Amino acid sequence: MENLLEGKPIAERIKNELRAAIATINKPIVLASVHAGENGGADAYVRSQQKTAKELGITYQLHRLNGSVREEEVIECVQALNADNAVNGIIVQMPLPPHVDYTKISASIVPGKDVEGMCPENIGKLLFGAPVVVPCTAAAVMEIIKSGGIDLCGKETVVVGHSEIVGKPLALLLLEELATVTVCHIGTSKAGKLEEHVEKADVLIVAVGKAGLIHGEWVKEGAVVIDVGINREKGKIVGDVEFETAAQRASLITPVPGGVGPLTVTMLMRNLVSLVTQGNA
């Protein structure tokens, strides 16, 4: 398909840039990963991080905690990694066990080692348009848009989903590019207004986690469609957008799998290398 925006070639190009940057750093680079409890999705993400780290010559340290771990113990683990000079970056895998508050955990990571860009200081820098690190999935979406040669200035851009890790940081990044940004969420759907917002989008980005939420016929002719959603349906991985019908109308569209997914881990590694080269980690 001519209008497919695939993430893998972009990820390969960025990994080559990272290899060149890493070759100039005269010390081992260590990424510490804190993983509390058992979760199939997080396990798959960890394996993908391990594989990419190995490809780039980055040491990946996995710190496994059991699902009944107390919140203070997770914070102690992060604080020990904050204090360890051999560790350059820290990622805490999501989802955490329900009794552990992600806001407190992300706030316990020192900004200079926060590879996910989610601690309050790094989110603050994003708000002011000067981030050192950008939340990985939002960064992956922006790279895909850039690779499609899309000028966002003045474009009607609709983001569906307002989570802290995807929708909210994405809205800030799109505003930096002078897009006109509408953010839709559960309230929009409850008010029966999702379709009317989607229909006006020149650029549509969907990050919800509900297969088929966006009907293909809602997509404006010539729109750019970025589908972040990952859903398992009848043994297959699908996105949030009805792909076949949307692809007939879109000028560019990301597949699921193979769109945003392959880029997300690469963005994590880019954040790590940025922190090291800027002397933060």
- Residues found near ligand NDP in the complex (CB under 6 A): 137, 160-163, 165-167, 184-186, 188-189, 194, 207-210, 213, 228-231, 260-261, 264
To ligand NDP, the closest distance from the beta carbon of 99 in angstroms equals 18
To ligand NDP, the closest distance from the beta carbon of 80 in angstroms equals 27
Q: Which helix (H) or strand (E) holds 181?
A: strand 180-184
How far, rounded to the nearest angstrom, does the alpha carbon of residue 243 sit from its chain's CA centroid? 21
Q: Which is nearer to ligand NDP, 41 or 67 (CB)?
A: 41
Q: Which is nearer to ligand NDP, 111 or 229 (CB)?
A: 229
Taking 3-state DSSP, the helix, strand and coil percentages for the chain, each rounded to the nearest 5, stand at 45, 15, 40
Amino acid identity of residue 247, one-letter, is: A
Q: Which is nearer to ligand NDP, 59 or 231 (CB)?
A: 231
To ligand NDP, the closest distance from the beta carbon of 88 in angstroms equals 22
Q: Which is nearer to ligand NDP, 112 or 259 (CB)?
A: 259
Are residues 102 and 116 in contact, defined by beta-carbon separation less than 8 angstroms? no
How far, rounded to the nearest angstrom, does the alpha carbon of residue 61 sit from its chain's CA centroid? 21
Whole-angstrom distance, CA of residue 216 vs CA of residue 214: 6
Q: How far is CA 44 from CA 49, 89, 185, 207, in A?
A: 9, 20, 27, 19
Q: Which is nearer to ligand NDP, 110 or 237 (CB)?
A: 237
Q: Which is nearer to ligand NDP, 149 or 192 (CB)?
A: 192
To ligand NDP, the closest distance from the beta carbon of 228 in angstroms equals 4
To ligand NDP, the closest distance from the beta carbon of 257 in angstroms equals 8
**Tokens (6 digits) for 277:** 């080269």
To ligand NDP, the closest distance from the beta carbon of 45 in angstroms equals 8
Numbers of helices and strands, H then E, in the chain: 11, 10
